[in-house]
Structure 1
Amino acid sequence: MNQDRWSAFGFGVGIHLARFFVIIGALTLGPLVGISGWYLGLAANVACVIFAVSIVTARKLWRTSGILVAWRGRLALLFLLPLFAEVLVWALPSGLRNDEPGFGMWALTLVLVGVNEELTSRVVVLERMRRSFPPLASVAVTAALFGLQHLSALATTSRTLDDVALNVVASSCYGFVLAAFQFRYRWVTPLIVVHAAADFTTILSVQPVPDAAVAVTLVVFLILGFTILRSARVANRHSSGHQDTASP
């Protein structure tokens, strides 16, 4: 890799490390101000949202993020449908557990997760990668870094190494299709929604989806990501063709 690509990669690693230290800081300081138990996770996600919003603002990426865009076309919606279908797979047919402190607080926390992770990964990191890498590489590196950030669970939870490792792989595959969509459309709002909804049904599912079905889902995500990137190349070629035709 040339120096610019190393710089971009280092930037991505640095952003995810900074977010990790924000989490550790919130978990450490929370008990000092009377926050404990489940609400520590809520506080950590509030801190991560503040961090993400600050970085997006500092780098002037709000317009680029597409967060205020209402519509990107029918093809964009079609690409989102498999992601929303996966949300339903975890919710049906067994339903969801109403774990403490209730659906409302879980929904709030997981919306905060969706906001901070999408802004951090699919806006801040991806926008830096696309300046230095070709499309597939920028999406793949962004997805890999997103997956690896889930190693933080080793420090913040009691989950086993093999469980966390599987989560890293699954998150990388999921991050690949999300990054591909954001690369193609720069429309982060539906990604925040589908990400929060997926976390909600995955965590609260009464009966988890079998591992074989999860593996198939991850393969579908990868195929969908490649398809979205291919559609971006086709769209760019058509755009270039129209410009050439219009040139004197």
Structure 2
Amino acid sequence: MCAAFAIGAVTWLKLWKHSGLFVLWRSKKAALLLLPFAIEALIWLAYPGGFASQAPGLGLWALTLLLVGVNEELTSRVAVLQTLRTAFSSTWAVVLAGVMFGLQHLSLLATGSPSTEDLLTILVLTGVYGFALGAYQFRFTWVLPLILFHAASDFTQILTTEPVPFAMHIAIALTLLTCGIWLLKAHRQAPTGASLIPART
């Protein structure tokens, strides 16, 4: 239902040409700059303690988290980011979209009972992740690989069998934050590829 909502929102806002969902290849540079997201998605597999199947099985987990990726990327990196770009500068649009993505995870209060410390940590880490993804989408207008890496990241983190040290989360977050800032500084104009909604600069 959430994925259907995201598809409906992008359709209603007429943003498909601004999504890059149907672009199979953007450029060598765009592919190379996906590397931090690929490493983030796969690094959990290398952590001692391993990765194991959990009920209801790898197939259903993969399908569910792919739909989560579709929902969250189309909503946050297309609908929200492009709408914010009509009212704010590109930099502020990316920052605000990242903050809003982090705040989405307040839903954990409805689905679980995280401690205040855990909740704040999750909000900050997901906010940084959303900022980096938003900066990439701003730069390249290519949401397809972001959906796939987002789904892969959720998949490997959820199925990691041992708790990951907090320092590892911080190192990953700082790396992604640096990448996001670099992407914004490297290209403050409209992203390569499809033309975007007119935005304030």
**For 1:134-185, what per-residue CA distance to the aligned partner results, in whole angstroms no more than 9, with x for missing partners?**
1211100000000001001101223233222211110000001000001111
Cα RMSD (Å) of the superposition? 1.5
Alignment-mate amino acid for residue 131 of structure 1: T
How is 1:24-35 mapped onto 2 (pairs within 5 angstroms)?
A: none
SS at match of 1:233: coil
User: Which structure shows the bigger proportion of residues in helix conformation?
Assistant: 1
Q: Which runs of 5+ in 2 are unaligned?
A: 192-201
Scaled by the length of structure 1, what TM-score is found? 0.73
Q: How many equivalent pairs are there?
A: 190
**Distance in 2, Cα, partners of 1:128 & 1:140:** 13
Q: Which residue of 2 aligns with 1:184?
A: 139
Scaled by the length of structure 2, what TM-score is found? 0.90
Alignment-mate amino acid for residue 160 of structure 1: S
What stretches of structure 1 move > 4 A for 4+ residues in a row? Answer: none
- Is the counterpart of residue 53 in structure 1 residue 7 in structure 2? yes
Alignment-mate amino acid for residue 190 of structure 1: P
Greater Rg over alpha carbons, structure: 1
Of the candidates 135, 148, 153, which is equivalent to residue 103 of structure 2?
148
Q: Which residue of 2 aligns with 1:18?
A: none
Change (3 A) 1:179 1:217: same
Alignment-mate amino acid for residue 65 of structure 1: S
Q: Which residue of 1 aligns with 2:42?
A: 88
**Distance in 1, Cα, partners of 2:160 & 2:60:** 16
**Distance in 2, Cα, partners of 1:179 & 1:152:** 21
Contact map agreement 1:90 1:208 (CA 8 A) in 2: no
Report which structure shows greater RCO (CA 8 Å, sep ≥6): 2
Question: Could you tell me how far 1:207 is from its partner in structure 2?
Answer: 2.6
